[in-house]
Amino acid sequence: MYIGTQDLLKQYDAYLLEHGYQIEELVNLASDALLNHFTKYNRLAILIGPGNNGADGYSLGLKLEKLGKYVDYYYSGDIGKISQANRYYRDQCADDHLIYVDEDNINTINWNDYDCIVDGLFGFGLNSAPRGMYKIIIESITNNYNGTIGAIDIPTGLDCNTGKAYEGALKADFTVTLTALKQGFLDPRSLEYTGEVILETLAVKDCFKEAGLFEYVGEDYAKAHLRKRHYSGYK
Domain that holds residue 220: 2-225
Whether 231 is covered by a domain: the verdict is no
What is the residue-averaged pLDDT of the chain?
A: 92
Task: Report the C-alpha gap between 153 and 56 in whole angstroms.
Answer: 10
**Number of independent structural domains in the chain:** 1
CATH number at residue 103: 3.40.50.10260
Contact 83, 50 (CB under 8 A): yes
Least confident range from 91-100, 170-179, 184-193, 202-211: namely: 202-211
Whether 137 is covered by a domain: the verdict is yes
Specify burial of residue 99 (Cβ count, 10 A radius: 0-12, 13-18, 19+): middle
- Over residues 76-89, mean pLDDT: 94
Whether 233 is covered by a domain: the verdict is no
Mention every residue, 6+ apart, whose C-beta is less than 8 A from residue 100. 75, 76
Least confident range from 12-21, 75-84, 161-170, 210-219: namely: 210-219
Whether 158 is covered by a domain: the verdict is yes
**pLDDT-derived band of residue 40, with 50, 70 and 90 as boundaries?**
very high
**125-158 pLDDT, tens per residue?**
999 999 999 999 999 999 999 999 999 999 999 9
Reduce the DSSP state of residue 36 to 3 states and report it.
coil
Whether 235 is covered by a domain: the verdict is no
